Amino acid sequence: MFKKIFFVTALLLASLLSAKPVVIASIAPVGYLAKAVGGDKIEVQSLAKGDVHSFEPKPNDMKAVAKARIFIAAGLEFEEAWIPRFKASAKNLVVVQSDAKIAKLKEEHSGHEEHDEEHSGHDDHKAKDDKHAGHAEHAKHDEKHEAHEEHDEEHEAHADPHVWLNPVLAITMARNISDALIDMDKANKDFYLKNFQKLMNDLLAFDESAKNELAGLKNRKFVVYHPAWGYFAKHYDLEQISIERNGKEPKIDEMASTVKMIKDENIKVIFADPNRSQKSAQVLASQTGAKVELLDPLGYNLLENLKIAVRAIKDANSPK
């Protein structure tokens, strides 16, 4: 009997010692970045699915967070309310802001908003420098850059959180995640750095290809229901036009002006978000002769989703 108890106890201890650290990502594409860097050294779970603007964790979500070592935030609104509760349920939980050191754009509610070119362009330049300087420099902080990225409270209240849809800013997010994993597990530092380097190279290679694909487009406008693609549009010199107004369905007069714009601009495709209502997009399509296609800003495989977006926008704006 004693041997049996000892054997079972030894198995339990071995299981606990070999268990992978649980990392909870706020959303699926951030989970993709975490898994790409962490590989088989970590277990990654994504929290919010569907419409993240109205997301509230379920009891099973809270149980998962309570077992986690790291929670990776992405600058989403629901995180502000829930992160303090996550910390309360998991005393040793480390919260990582994957969007740290990224200048935010003002959230677009309709049409094209003006942005600070120098401000957000700094992130693009910094990530490209990493390709040549290597990851060894990524722990150093650029004090001027940090000061440059301070925003007043009013600006932050309306910040667009969809930074992962710019591949160069996704590299910054991956770097922040890599730093956190190394802090948690210094023994596997080289493993995380190697994976980060591969992910960065993949995203930069995609970025170069995407710029070439989109370079020849004469019509650089695309219509979306929900304005999730602002960082993507800015990075590739495109113009995102949103149907949704201030997070709500457009009013009748707004729909009428949007119909006129779609016809005047000869827009052939309206991109809807599979996580949100597609009713307005379908109505506009029926009134303008455009067709509705889906682009998912929250799909897990970020690199593949960005490739899909490039192909879809290129096809929608190319002469038939």
Question: pLDDT tens, 211-220?
Answer: 999 998 999 9
Rounded CA-CA distance 136/146 in Å is 19
Rounded CA-CA distance 261/219 in Å is 13
If pLDDT is split at 50, 70 and 90, which confidence band does 3 have? low
Question: pLDDT tens, 76-117?
Answer: 999 999 999 999 988 899 999 999 999 999 876 544 343 333
Rounded CA-CA distance 9/292 in Å is 58
- Reference 101, options 49, 191, 163, 57; nearest CA is 163
CA atoms within 13 A on the CB side of 239: 13
pTM equals 0.82
If pLDDT is split at 50, 70 and 90, which confidence band does 251 have? confident
Rounded CA-CA distance 126/121 in Å is 9
If pLDDT is split at 50, 70 and 90, which confidence band does 148 have? very low
Residue 16 has pLDDT above 80, yes or no: no
Question: pLDDT tens, 41-81?
Answer: 999 999 998 778 778 999 999 999 999 999 999 999 999 99
The pLDDT score that the predictor gives to residue 312 is: 98
Q: Which residue has the higher pLDDT, 86 or 9?
A: 86
